[in-house]
Amino acid sequence: MFRRSHLSHLGRMTVVLWATCITGYATHAQQAGILTNLEIGSYKTNIEYLRFPLDQPVSASQFDYSATVSDQYTAKFFITATTPADTEEEIKIDGNTVKSGEAYAVDLKEGETDFTITVHSTEAPWSIYHLKVDRKDLSKVYTSEKLGTGIWRVRDFGGTRGDETFYLFEGKNRALVIDVGMGKGDLPAYLHTLTKLPIDVAITHGHGDHFGQVNEFKDSTVYISEKDITRLPHDFITPKFHYIKEGDVIDLGGRKFEAINVPGHTLGSIIYLDRADSIAVTGDAVSSGSMVYMFGSNCTALDQYADSLKHLQEKIKDVPNLTLLVGHAYQERTPLTEQAGHQLIDNMETVAEKVLSGEVEGKLVESVASYGKSELREANYQLAGLWYNPKNLHTARAALGLLNITTKGGDFLIWKSVFGSMLTNYTATMPDKSTAVEVTPTAYWPNYKALTVNGSPVRSGETKDVELTPGDNKIEIQVTGNDGSTETYTVAIQR
């Protein structure tokens, strides 16, 4: 439904490839002595491999190639050379023998690096390929493409694989950018090259790659779910923040976005729906067309996510030919337009239900990140990929659904870890000299049996004042489920 234009290649990291054959080059893709494919890439995480495209498909008659990547995630770089399957070639990269189709790892320095790839066969002459990689800092480079009247897709880090994707919309009165990435350039100034209207900001969820530059928009109204606010640095939050909730509408004048709560990837994940144009801006709520991360300790339990997807399906059932504008567009396996937009959401709900029922058990995978190792499983169903925590499938009967702690002045405590129903121990530091905090626990299940704060009974959603003493303080919230089970959540506060 959109008219697309080509992405700008401004400032990207350039990869140039030359190839020569010592006594002439082959002219058929399956002839010996040549490469049939050449791939370059790197790992964004240990479970996500980024393939950077060359400027054109590899062919026997073409020996000049180029590609563009940024220096983000590319300190460890991989080159994969492939020769015909029915021939025996010797492949060397910088003199090191590699197997056909085997990734060759290199440490890539800043600036230009040259590689030599040779292919030798007893049936054909030597071929010599030269690969030049220019690794640059593109953190201040933005690119954009116009998707339709008053609609732009914007990318940070030069628009290369592994980047963040956000969207600018114009109404008659105001513009709205949904998510802001985590680049380091002057994003407001860049967006004002696309629109002259005042720009407000809507955040899909509280992960740094989606809110990272929100502090650049100090004069803008910022829409975000209150459930994700503690994920932001305290100095990012201004009086211009508006805590958006289910059913709220952002009216730009001639274009409206409805907020739909889709907790799962985070508690406060929001999808912004433009019903008139059949557009849903999804962030990471339903994946970007390949996998949704549901294995983090701060994700909801999988049964809560399945309920969210049911709710989403109900909200969009009358929206024809739905287009999903996702948070990481490079992950799209197929364009998520028309029926594919609905299908991805339906497929995600199906695979979640299959996992919950025990019909499907995903493939075991281990994720390694800065916060440690996580066990997760990967389950796929048609367009949907679900990466989930097998220890966080069903919400306990004594679980909290949300826990807010604020100063008497209304400032949220920024605590670690960010709240998740399966995490029971937290720490926080008072941002000011307050001698008391307001604690608001909300039980997940409406039919809970009892709820206490430091032993005093409270109702779910009720605020309890807790006095603090100098030094270390501890707040205990205990939930009793309707089955008699109990869970205690502890918050240690340093004052």
pLDDT in tens, 337-367: 989 999 999 999 999 999 999 999 999 987 6
Query: Is the pLDDT reported for residue 433 higher than 50?
Result: yes
91 and 209 fall within a common domain: no
125 and 237 fall within a common domain: no
Paired with 37 in beta bridges are: 82
Q: For residue 7, is it within any domain?
A: no
**Structure-token pair, residue 435:** 């001698």
**Structure-token pair, residue 399:** 């679980």
Q: For residue 395, is it within any domain?
A: no
pLDDT tens column, 77-91: 999 999 888 777 899
Query: Is the pLDDT reported for residue 477 higher than 60?
Result: yes
Considering 365, 388, 411, which residue would you say is the last residue of a domain? 388
Beta strands in 87-244 (DSSP E): 89-93, 96-98, 103-107, 111-121, 124-135, 143-148, 151-155, 165-170, 175-178, 199-202, 222-224, 241-243
Tell me the average pLDDT across 282-303: 94
346 and 427 fall within a common domain: no
Lateral strand order in the sheet of 436-443: 400-407, 436-443, 464-467
Structural domain boundaries enclosing 52: 13-135
pLDDT tens column, 2-27: 332 322 333 333 444 444 443 333 33
Which residue from 270, 356, 349, 263 is spatially nearest to 306, judged by alpha carbons?
349
Distance between CA atoms of residues 253 and 467, nearest Å: 47
Distance between CA atoms of residues 284 and 207, nearest Å: 9
Provide the 8-state DSSP code for 24.
B
130 and 148 fall within a common domain: no
Read off the amino acid at residue 453. Answer: V
pLDDT tens column, 238-281: 999 999 999 999 999 999 999 999 999 999 999 999 999 999 99
| Angle subtended by helix axes 339-357 and 302-316, to nearest 10 | 150
122 and 195 fall within a common domain: no
pLDDT tens column, 36-68: 899 999 999 888 899 988 877 887 777 777 778
Considering 86, 106, 135, which residue would you say is the last residue of a domain? 135
Q: For residue 156, is it within any domain?
A: yes
**Structure-token pair, residue 91:** 């492949």
pLDDT tens column, 205-244: 999 999 999 999 999 999 999 999 989 988 899 999 999 9
The reported pLDDT for the residue numbered 9 is 33
Paired with 437 in beta bridges are: 407, 466
Phi and psi at residue 148, in whole multiples of 5°? 180, -175
Q: For residue 307, is it within any domain?
A: yes
Report the number of distinct structural domains present in the chain.
Answer: 3
**Structure-token pair, residue 330:** 């490079």
Tell me the average pLDDT across 93-97: 94
116 and 161 fall within a common domain: no
